[in-house]
């Protein structure tokens, strides 16, 4: 049974090939399916533009938490305007009430599939460059109070631009609490009462204990796990069951990277270990700090990503970001800094009103005689200072003499097989790239890897 036939059989109530959704999106074919949803390739009837459409399976659409979080995810992702985030174009519901989400159609493959084709380790500069591009997306998300909470290689997509160059895209933003849908198209996600919590191996200790109280530093933990996995091709925390994996995360100390792959620079080994500190107060406080630490190991292009991350207005206090959940964004509640601004503006407005009313009376009293009425005006001088993001540029550290930099830009994918159109929600596998030669891990950037094939 092929993918389309199977999809029709198990997904009655969803559109078929040829159907028009919302009066403008004509379904062309199924791109992927999972235990909780379906992804289609479609075309906008008027604009003639290809798109991806993600839908929840009918049997799950009646669960309020899943249906509402599906739409909330789209709203949150739409706020992050970055080329490194899969863009949400539209949302709506079918006539039978099933929610759908329209996303940009991505061509390429996710990082998980990309790495599987390499028999040897990925070049160090390539790994650092990929992660720094992903940090550009996270910096913008965190500045909006959005914490991803389900970062993993399959949610990092290596997409092809029209000119053949590559850009890293972060998928599936907006998931926050244990009662939300983490990834409707990932069968490996842990479930509790049919609602996904996340992916075990990449979850931070605080997310395991209480998913309601995680902040941006949970994403930094996940980035640390991704770095560890890409650099060593092993997982830092393992177990025979979900419970065993959780126990390993909460109790075990992972091996140092250099014990598995000696050519990893000691400074990079230390960066990854700091990301994996169980006490989140000992991790990097924000992605700007992490990008600054990774910059010396990156290529010239990767260092450009690090500079952009450092210029993004993210929280810089040691305690990390006071990130409010995605539903807070959607419900319209302002973050702490914005609430201070509103309070200050309100007090200033009252002071101005008092001044306008009282000042003319004072002038009249002076004209009529020595009698003067003294009025104590309310001012904003006693208010706490309003926190504002730092606008000063962050100076990146000089490159270490022991870590060579590779100056490059993303090249055309001339030597790769034609990419398969993928959905931003859950891409399917693409053809395995053939090796064209081996190069030193410290001398090859991601661009040369993508151009030259696999080892």
Q: With 0-12 CB in 10 A as exposed, 13-18 as middle and 19+ as buried, what is 243?
A: exposed
Least-confidence region, from 11-25, 111-125, 434-448: 434-448
Q: Is the Cβ–Cβ distance between 45 and 20 less than 8 Å?
A: yes
Dist CA 414 CA 417 (whole Å): 8
Q: Which residues of 319-331 are buried (b: 16+ CB within 10 A; e: fewer)?
A: ebbebbbbbebbe
Dist CA 348 CA 59 (whole Å): 53
DSSP label at residue 294 = H
Dist CA 124 CA 404 (whole Å): 10
Query: What confidence tier does 117 reach under pLDDT thresholds 50, 70, 90?
Result: confident
The token duo for 157 is 């997509």
Compute the Cα dihedral for 161, 163, 164, 167 and give only its sign. negative
Q: Is the Cβ–Cβ distance between 157 and 427 less than 8 Å?
A: yes
SS3 327: helix
Q: Is the Cβ–Cβ distance between 52 and 31 less than 8 Å?
A: yes
Dist CA 74 CA 180 (whole Å): 13
- At 344-368, the pLDDT tens digits run 777 787 877 777 766 666 555 555 5
Catalytic residue numbers, as ranges: 150
- At 263-285, the pLDDT tens digits run 999 999 999 999 999 999 999 99
Q: What is the pLDDT of residue 221?
A: 97
Q: What is the pLDDT of residue 343?
A: 74
Dist CA 293 CA 289 (whole Å): 6
Dist CA 171 CA 39 (whole Å): 14
Tally Cβ neighbours within 10 Å of residue 11. 19
Task: Identify the structural domains of the chain with CATH numbers, from first to last.
Answer: 107-316+399-452 (1.10.510.10), 332-389 (no CATH)
Least-confidence region, from 81-95, 296-310, 403-417: 403-417
**Bridge partner residues of 422 (DSSP):** 106
Question: In the chain, what percentage of residues exceed pLDDT 70?
Answer: 63
SS3 185: coil
- At 176-201, the pLDDT tens digits run 432 233 333 333 333 333 343 568 99
Mean pLDDT, rounded, for 418-437? 43
Q: Is the Cβ–Cβ distance between 314 and 139 less than 8 Å?
A: yes
The distance of Cα 71 from the centroid of its chain, to the nearest Å, equals 17
Dist CA 125 CA 130 (whole Å): 9
Dist CA 28 CA 41 (whole Å): 6
The answer, yes or no, to whether residue 323 has pLDDT greater than 50, is: no
Q: Which residues of 137-174 are buried (b: 16+ CB within 10 A; e: fewer)?
A: bbbbbbbbbbbbbbbbbbbbbbbbeeeeebebbbbbbb
The token duo for 428 is 């399917």
Q: What is the pTM of this model?
A: 0.66
The answer, yes or no, to whether residue 101 has pLDDT greater than 70, is: yes
22-36, 154-168, 258-272, 319-333: range with highest mean pLDDT: 258-272
What contacts 223, CB < 8 A, 6 or more positions away? 131, 134, 135, 138, 151, 275, 287, 290
DSSP label at residue 446 = H
Rg (C-alpha) for the chain, rounded Å, is 26
> Which among 332, 53, 60, 100 has a CA at the least distance from the CA of 181?
60
Mean pLDDT, rounded, for 298-318? 82
Q: Is 264 left (phi over 0), alpha (psi -120 to 50) or beta?
A: beta
């Amino acid at each position: 049974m092929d993918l389309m036939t199977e999809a029709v059989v198990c997904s009655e109530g969803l559109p078929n090939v040829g159907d028009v959704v919302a009066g403008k999106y004509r379904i062309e074919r199924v791109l992927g399916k999972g235990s909780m949803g379906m992804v289609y390739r479609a075309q906008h009837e008027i604009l003639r533009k290809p798109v991806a459409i993600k839908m929840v399976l009918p049997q799950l659409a009646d669960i309020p938490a899943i249906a509402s979080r599906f739409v909330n995810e789209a709203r949150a992702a739409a706020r992050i305007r970055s080329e490194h985030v899969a863009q949400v174009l539209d949302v709506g519901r079918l006539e039978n009430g099933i929610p759908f989400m329209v996303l940009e159609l991505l061509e390429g493959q996710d990082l998980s599939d990309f790495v599987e084709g390499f028999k040897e380790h990925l070049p160090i500069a390539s790994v650092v460059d990929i992660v720094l591009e992903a940090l550009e997306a996270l910096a913008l998300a965190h500045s909006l109070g959005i914490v991803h909470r389900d970062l993993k290689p399959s949610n990092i997509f290596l997409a092809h631009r029209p000119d053949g160059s590559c850009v890293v895209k972060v998928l599936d933003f907006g998931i926050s609490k244990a009662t939300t849908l983490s990834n409707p198209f990932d069968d490996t996600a842990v479930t509790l009462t049919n609602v996904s919590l996340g992916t075990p191996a990449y979850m931070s200790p605080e997310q395991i204990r209480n998913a309601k109280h995680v902040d941006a530093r949970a994403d930094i933990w996940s980035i640390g796990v991704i770095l560890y996995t890409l650099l060593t091709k092993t997982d830092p925390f393992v177990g025979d069951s979900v419970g065993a994996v959780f126990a390993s995360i909460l109790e075990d100390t992972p091996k140092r990277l250099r014990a598995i792959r000696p050519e990893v620079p000691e400074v990079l080994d230390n960066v990854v270990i700091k990301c994996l500190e169980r006490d989140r107060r000992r991790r990097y406080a924000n992605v700007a700090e992490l990008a600054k630490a990774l910059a010396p190991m990156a290529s010239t292009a990767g260092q450009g990503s690090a500079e952009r991350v450092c210029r993004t207005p993210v929280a810089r206090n040691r305690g990390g970001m006071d990130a409010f959940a995605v539903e807070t964004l959607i419900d319209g509640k302002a973050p702490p800094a914005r609430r201070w601004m509103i309070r200050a503006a309100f007090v200033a407005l009252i002071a101005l009103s008092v001044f306008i009313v009282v000042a003319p009376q004072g002038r009249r009293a002076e004209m009529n005689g020595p009698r003067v009425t003294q009025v104590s005006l309310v001012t904003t001088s006693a208010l706490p200072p309003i926190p504002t993001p730092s606008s000063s540029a962050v100076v990146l550290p000089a490159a270490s003499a022991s870590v060579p930099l590779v100056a490059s830009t993303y090249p055309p994918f001339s030597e790769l097989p034609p990419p398969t159109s993928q959905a931003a929600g859950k891409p399917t596998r693409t053809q395995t790239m053939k090796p064209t030669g081996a190069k030193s891990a410290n001398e090859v950037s991601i661009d040369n890897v993508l151009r030259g094939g696999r080892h």
